[in-house]
Structure 1
Amino acid sequence: MLKWLVRLLALAFFLGLSGMVALFVLYQQISADLPDVSTLKDVRLETPMRIYSQDGELISQYGEQRRTPVTIDRMPPQLIDAFLATEDARFYEHPGIDPVGIARAALVWLTTGEKRQGASTITQQVARNFFLSREKTIVRKVKEIVLALHIESQLSKDEILELYLNKIPLGHRAHGVGAAAQVYYGKELADLTLAEMAMIAGLPKAPSTLNPISNPRRAEERRAVVLGRMLDTGKISQAQYNEAIAAPVRTRYHGAEITLNAPYLAEMAHQFAVSMFGDEAYTRGLNIYTTVHADEQQAANQALVNGLLAYDLRHGYRGAEATLWRDSPPWSQEQIEQHLDEQPSYWPLQPAVVTQVGERSATVVIKDKGTARLDWDGLKWARAYIADNRQGKAPSRAGEILKAGEQVWVRPLGEGWMLGQLPDINGALVALEPTTGAVTALVGGFNFTLNKFNRVEQAERQMGSNIKPFIYSTALDQGFTLASLVNDAPINHWDVGSGNAWKPRNSPNVYDGPIRVREALARSKNVVSIRLLRDSGIANAMQRLNDFGFDTSRIPATESLALGSPSATPLQMATGYAAFANGGYKVTPFVVERIEDTQGVVLYRAAPEQRRIVSEENAFLISSALTSAIQGGVSGERRWNGTGWRAGRALGRSDIAGKTGTTNDSRDAWFSGFTPDRVATAWVGFDDFGRPLGRTAYHPNLGRDQVAGGEFGGSTALPIWADYMKVALSHFPERDRPVPAELVTATIDTGTGLLSNNGKGRTEYFVKGSEPRRYSQPDSHQQFGGTSVTDELF
């Protein structure tokens, strides 16, 4: 018996020694391939790209993984206890591996042949997550063990635990506990309850199937296991356990905590970052600070949406989005709410279902808001839409508008709600700092989710009368002054090539005869623009447009360009007007001010440049004339309004300059305007180029302040511009533009443009040497300015 015992001990010693030799040989073979664990001291966790406003509001986040790195000293102790109790109770005692666990896993493999995962300490999981694959092989397991021992020799326990808690995948693209708290609960770690901490701590075992969004029942069972282990290890009391185990599982997916809505601009910044950093932009944790200011962006959002909804309201109600029931029994509240949960929302519009219609009111169930009442003030606008230029009669009862069972859109109205609808019309608004080109607000359409087409930089639309300041700028450099007289009379030009007469008309079709250049621009006289183009030369005008940043290779060199036949984007238009606002310099618009890494190191900073394209005097004179487009003026005994008069009434400032723009058949409506501190362009139109904006009849239900008649730049786009500028200009006091040294003033007679002989008239600006020399006489002949004094008078 003793002899057999000796033999068994010898065999055991031999096998043990052989095992140690085998492990040593295996270690020698794989050690050369093992990574340097010291890199963990300076590890860069993959974090998404975040895009912020100039004042730190989060606009968007891009990246496959959501991660919010958190230092261990900012992690709640109970959260750490939950993970340790579940994943590695002896973490602070063992050297990086658990020999008992390893032996148990090896026994399972020897007896069953199955390579089950198990016995991995937190340190081993760090080794696997950072350096190894998840394949279940003996070689990978040995590498994991060796790496774990190396890691323990290089890093402290707290450093290892911090890496682990920031690296582990926890489901729904959340990596690390900081991201998981946001994804599942929309909270910071410090705000989590014990039950929520235990839920997150239970996820590493199977994050895709044990998370509370995908499988609430299994998640609750796993949470109970975590809480039980915390109770067993003395980390929580029985009372804490009882409270947490009874807590309901309440969670939903929480996206990135967007605090400022600017998706069109965010996409521009996103593309800029990718062009600089490639795919690394999604993992380096870049913090991109854009040029927009939160309050201005919010004002731009509100202004464009309100303007588009206002257009849609005055053109009539197109009917319900869907009919859920007619003669059949009405749906239950539960059915209605379930249906609404599946419907999208497009701020400020919410889907709703009509449940009851009264004489002058209706009851609706609104998504996420419950039951509400639509009073007559929220319904009376909804006369029927017939066509873009025709509406039905004003309604007198709610039953003419709605029926029970209809799915509709509603939007806030004061403390209540009003009927709404998704607009067919669309638009854009963009604003810049004139001296730098920094974009301060940008909205590329009614709703980014509904349509991602960014009309600010992608919609090339006919300029209409927004082009005229550039034509007039050319004329001033070709001998005209703001006091020059040009004949405002119909043009009838025979085109030999086509065999047709070209008969451009003013809008409205009214002519005043000889008119000063200032007044002609302020009142947007079409035929005057054509005459100025003829006298200035088309080639000169084309060069001027090119200098202002418009692509003249795509513009036909014909007289129609004086009426705005060329196309441009709203961003190009705002950039062009910026040169008038800043004294004659071309700027390049930009949306990214700087890019920082996770440590706050600046990787990129914008360096705005300016290039002079017109003289300071020319820019001042055009700005002055565009101020008259807002303020109006007097010619002789006649008082006139400029086309942008609504801007002056809305803002009540004297430093505003601007120009309306409307194309043929009102397919595009523009307003571009500026002060020395902000320049902005608003555009409204259908994405279908061929669809006119139409017109509206007076609505007897809506009162005296309504817009009725044709849709023009001054009535359709200008209010959007003005609503934005009310907020943007609140930061800047009113200030006069400095008068360039090469300008002089003279008092002129407004009827002739000559010097006033009685001290009456208006003060006009002139480049030195271009001021009139003659005085106006009662019987003096009116003279046309510029290089040509002959023109059609019919």
Structure 2
Amino acid sequence: MIVLAAATSLTMAAPELPPLPPIRRDPQVIYVDRSGAVLGVRGGRYAPPVDLAKLPAYVPAAFISIEDRRFYTHTGFDPVGIGRAIVAGVSEGRATQGASTITQQLARNLFLNADRTVERKAKELVWSIQLERTYSKKEILSLYLSRVYFGSGAYGLEAASRRYFNKPASRLSLREAATLAGVLKSPTNYNPVEQPKAAAERAALVLDAMVDTGAITPADRNKAMAAPLKVWNSSPTAPAQYFVDWLDAQRRQILPQPKQDTVVETTLDLPMETAAADATRAVLARYKAQSVSQAALVAVDGQGRVRAMIGGVDYTAGPYNRAVTARRQAGSAWKPFVYLTALEAGATPDMLVVDEPLTIGTWSPQNYAGGYLGQMTLEQAVAQSVNTVAARTADEVGRGNVAATARRLGIASPVNTDPAMALGTTLVSPLEMTQAYAAFSNGGARVAAYGIERIRTNGGQLIYQRKAQPQARVIANPALSDMNRMLRSVVASGTGGRAKIAGYDLAGKTGTTSDYKDAWFAGYSGGFTTVVWMGRDDAAPMQRITGGGAPAELWRGFMSVALKRVPAQAIPAGPAAPLIAPPPVEILAAPVEQGAAPQPEPAVETPEDPPIGN
């Protein structure tokens, strides 16, 4: 009775209570894929108030039934519940029970901390009354549902719905709504991923409460519990967070501090991203025993739009983006730059070359089997990844010219010019390799990989629009057609056989570095390029993981899905157009002292591939 009288006095004195502090919410930056699907959110923790009109009626009813069934009749507090909490607090010497209404929970979220003290509880009561006097019940509930924590990093109903069920809150089923409402009592103990049994039991209690309040019928309850429940063990958009992080740094240069919620429309294709993540997990699981622990994948279209990006196996374990930031030796995936330079200097695929012992200075490159095959065509040397032929070719055309070719196509990292550079000792990122190979796929035009199409406010006001960039033609014919012919042979009859996909025009190159520390497959179809890298973050050797093995399998697994989502086309030959002068090339030559040991040469392909090169 004392509690009831005190609460009544507070209600009557409400006009004299201090005004509500301002309700603050930092703007959010929402990243969406090319079709508008949400990829991720950066900036503020909380979304705007939930639009109750877009929710099935049973969704808010689930929260009201289990959290505050007298929500629509009280004035911000439940006197009986408060009485129980105070009595328990007196006996324990501190506040131990909650019994907070939805309004009180919101007041705590907005204005207070979670300390369980009588003083904090009193302030909570004051702000609850003021909230009720200032806002409608609908506004309070909308704000509440946008701020409560559901575990697994999900704040608010919309984020929780997407995290656990991969759908917007407007499409929640009755059982899914009950599951989320049940989480609030303890996001740890009732997390549907980590505690599925406890979460199911709690959801059943929510449904029982909904029956008691008349929100649903017993038949509805039974049908809901009988319905299957699919909970995503990890966020379905977790793999895309590498991509979102990459873009968020760029967005900050365009719009450092948004003053309102902002939408960034990106180039990513979420179904492709999901296919890439699934293929990565599946292939690495098959090769786990061979000490491979990380992978990266980048896919771009012929204009440089990034359609998929995998920066690592598990974003939640660490956000380090290997697709963009890691620099690893390219291995024989570098050789197309060598051979393109030769083709532009007058070589042809049918030109005869010789696989034989070779020494350049103090360095003598070796093939996988340790032997030599003698005379062959240049095309055969590419298909079988013969190291001696690549090294001799680079030496003949000039390693500085090879470096200039690589830079012209899109390699931005410093390029070394020691003799072993022909076999891929330069450190590059998967993103660089992808944009360089894209010129082979699109008719010879250089691309700059990008991910932001436009930025707008949540209300639709345009802030930024990417301008169409003229594409410099950096490869002309006949060199382009000849290069594509030779790289087709890599897939058709060479070291890249595991990348074959029936019905598509494909080309590419395998790559494996010293002691199997890095393995690559870089390949393309008409207007679509994907590069895969595998290795370990500690740069320790893998156990015979080579470009023609696991990376080619991952490439094929992803491209089998991706190529169904892009217009199927043959690899274009490209016009015999003059080249546009590339930007100045920065060549960093690695000085080699007389008699010094040469830089290690890359290892070669797998025994199951033709045992000649990589």
**1:433 aligned counterpart, secondary structure:** strand
2: CA distance between counterparts of 1:194 and 1:689? 44
Deviations 1:185-244 (A, max 9, x none): 9996863369949x94996xx768997999x99x9999989989996xxx539x969998
- In structure 1, give the amino acid aligned to 2:336: P
Indicate whether 1:729 and 2:563 are aligned.
yes
Distance 2:144 2:341 in 1: 67
On the 8 A contact 1:212/1:251 being kept in 2, the answer is no
The counterpart of 2:526, out of the listed 658, 663, 676, is 676
Alignment RMSD: 5.8
Residue 293 (structure 1) aligns with: 269
Q: Does the C-alpha gap of structure 1 residues 71 and 619 become closer, same or farther in structure 2, counting only changes over 3 Å?
A: farther
Conservation of the 8 A alpha-carbon contact between 2:112 and 2:124: no
What is the CA deviation profile of residues 578-622 of structure 1, one whole-angstrom value per residue up to 9, with x for unaligned ones?
122223333232345556665566666655746526243366245
Q: Which has the larger radius of gyration?
A: 1
Matched, 1:651 2:502: yes
Between the aligned partners of 1:186 and 1:567, the Cα distance in structure 2 is 38
Q: Which residue of 1 aligns with 2:472?
A: 612
SS where residue 558 of structure 2 aligns? helix
Contact residue 67 and residue 101 of structure 2 kept, 8 A: no
Output the CA distance in 1 between the equivalents of 2:522 and 2:141. 57
Alpha-carbon shift at residue 480 of structure 1 (Å): 1.9
Alpha-carbon deviations, 1:329-375, whole Å to 9, x = none? xxxxxxxxxxxxxxxxxxxxxxxxxxxxxxxxxxxxxxxxxxxxxxx
Q: 1:531 to 1:68 in 2, by over 3 A?
A: same
Alignment coverage as a number of residue pairs: 552
Structure 1 letter corresponding to 2:272? E
**Alpha-carbon distance in structure 2 between the residues aligned to 1:572 and 1:209:** 42
Q: Tell me what 1:236 maps to.
A: 214
Structure-2 separation of matches of 1:659 and 1:209: 48
Task: Tell me what 2:57 maps to.
Answer: 76
In the superposition, relative to structure 1, how do residues 288 and 626 fare at CA in structure 2: closer, same or farther (>3 Å)?
A: farther
Q: Determine if the alignment matches structure 1 residue 578 to structure 2 residue 560.
A: no
Q: How does 1:586-597 map to 2 (within 5 A)?
A: 586-591=446-451, 593=453
Amino acid of the structure 1 residue aligned with 2:408: D
- Change in Cα spacing, 1:46 to 1:176, as seen in structure 2 (3 Å) is farther
How far the C-alpha of 1:269 sits from its partner, in A, is 1.0
Displacement after TM superposition at 1:462 (Å): 2.3
Q: Does the 8 Å contact 1:506/1:525 carry over to 2?
A: yes
Partner of 1:384: none
Q: Cα deviations across residues 536-560 of structure 1 (Å, max 9, x unaligned)?
A: 223222222333343563x432222
> In the alignment, is the contact (CA less than 8 A) between 1:433 and 1:679 conserved in 2?
yes
Residue type matched to 1:680 in 2?
T
Aligned to 2:575: 740
Q: Which amino acid aligns with 2:269?
A: H
Partner of 2:427: 567
Question: For the structure 1 residues 61 and 505, does the alpha-carbon distance in structure 2 shift closer, same or farther, using more than 3 Å as the test?
Answer: same
Name the counterpart of 2:173: 191
Q: Please say if residues 595 and 602 of structure 1, whose CA atoms lie closer than 8 Å, have aligned partners that are also in contact.
A: yes
* 1:629 counterpart = 2:489: yes
Aligned to 2:372: 510
Distance change (3 Å), C-alpha of 1:280 and 1:480: closer
| Residue number in structure 2 paired with 1:373 | none
Distance 1:602 1:720 in 2: 38
- Asked if the contact 1:51/1:269 (under 8 Å) is kept, the reply is yes
Matched residue of 1:296: which SS? helix
Cα distance, 1:228–1:280 mapped onto 2, change above 3 Å: farther
1:168-567 to structure 2, matched below 5 A, reads: 191-192=173-174, 196=178, 200=181, 235-236=213-214, 258-259=235-236, 263=239, 265-270=240-245, 272-273=247-248, 276=251, 290-310=266-286, 312=287, 423-426=290-293, 428-445=295-312, 454-477=321-344, 479-482=345-348, 485=351, 487-488=353-354, 490-493=356-359, 495=361, 501-507=362-368, 509-513=371-375, 517-551=378-412, 553=414, 555-567=415-427
**Counterpart residue identity of residue 291, structure 1:** T
Cα distance change, pair 491–69 in 1 and its aligned pair in 2 (3 A): same
Bigger RCO (CA 8 Å, 6+ sep) = 2
**Aligned counterpart, 1:144:** 127
Tell me the distance in 2 between the aligned counterparts of 1:84 and 1:666.
60
Q: Which moved more, 1:455-464 or 1:170-179?
A: 170-179
Judging changes above 3 Å, is the alpha-carbon distance between structure 1 residues 539 and 304 closer, same or farther for their aligned structure 2 residues? same
The alpha-carbon deviation at position 561 of structure 1 amounts to: 1.1
Map of 1:654-733 to 2, 5 A cutoff?
A: 655-664=505-514, 666-685=516-535, 689=539, 691=541, 693-694=543-544, 712-730=546-564, 731-733=566-568
* Distance in 2, Cα, partners of 1:631 & 1:179: 43
State the alpha-carbon separation in 2 of the partners of residues 533 and 669 from structure 1.
22
- Measured in 1, the distance between the counterparts of 2:535 and 2:189 equals 50
| CA distances 1:721-753 after superposition (whole Å, capped 9, x unpaired) | 23333333334334352442459xxxxxxxxxx
1:562 is displaced (CA, Å) by 1.5
Kept in 2, the 8 Å contact 1:486–1:531? The answer is no
Partners of 2:527 and 2:569 within 8 A in 1? no
* SS of alignment partner, residue 302 of structure 2: coil
* 1:381 aligned residue: none
Q: Aligned pair in 2 of structure 1 residues 200, 472: CA closer, same or farther (>3 Å)?
A: closer
CA drift of 1:440 comes to 2.5
Q: Which amino acid aligns with 1:614?
A: V
Instruction: Note closer, same or farther for the CA distance 1:126–1:617 as it changes in structure 2 (3 Å cut).
Output: same
* 2:601 aligned partner: none
8 Å Cα contact 1:436-1:608 kept in structure 2: no
The amino acid of 1:587's aligned partner reads V
Asked whether the equivalents of residues 466 and 660 of structure 1 are also in contact (C-alpha less than 8 Å), the reply is yes
Contact 2:442 2:572 in 1 (8 A): no
Q: Give the Cα–Cα distance (whole angstroms) in 2 for the partners of residues 160 and 621 of structure 1.
A: 66
Q: Is this contact kept in 1: 2:32–2:40, CA < 8 A?
A: yes
1:41-120 paired onto structure 2 within 5 Å: 53-55=33-35, 70-73=50-53, 74=55, 76=57, 79-80=60-61, 83=64, 87=68, 89=70, 91=72
5+ unaligned residues in a row in structure 2: which ranges? 1-8, 579-614
Letter in 2 for 1:510: Y
8 Å contact kept, 1:184–1:251: no
Distance 2:277 2:71 in 1: 55
Deviations 1:422-473 (A, max 9, x none): 5522453524334222222334455556776544334433222221211222
- Provide structure 1 residue ranges, at least 5 long, that are not aligned to the other structure: 1-18, 313-420, 496-500, 633-640, 695-710, 744-794
Cα distance, 1:646 vs structure 2: 5.2
1:552–1:490 distance in 2 versus 1, CA, 3 Å: farther
Displacement of 1:574 in angstroms is 1.8
Distance 1:90 1:652 in 2: 62
SS of aligned partner of 2:143:
helix
Distance 1:724 1:62 in 2: 28
TM-aligned CA deviation for residue 482 of structure 1: 1.6
Given that 1:97 and 1:123 are in contact with CA atoms closer than 8 Å, whether structure 2 keeps it comes out as yes
Q: 1:719 Cα shift?
A: 3.5
The residue type paired with residue 532 of structure 1 is T
Q: Percent identity?
A: 26
SS across alignment from 1:300: helix
Q: What CA distance in whole angstroms lies between the structure 2 residues aligned with 1:551 and 1:512?
A: 36
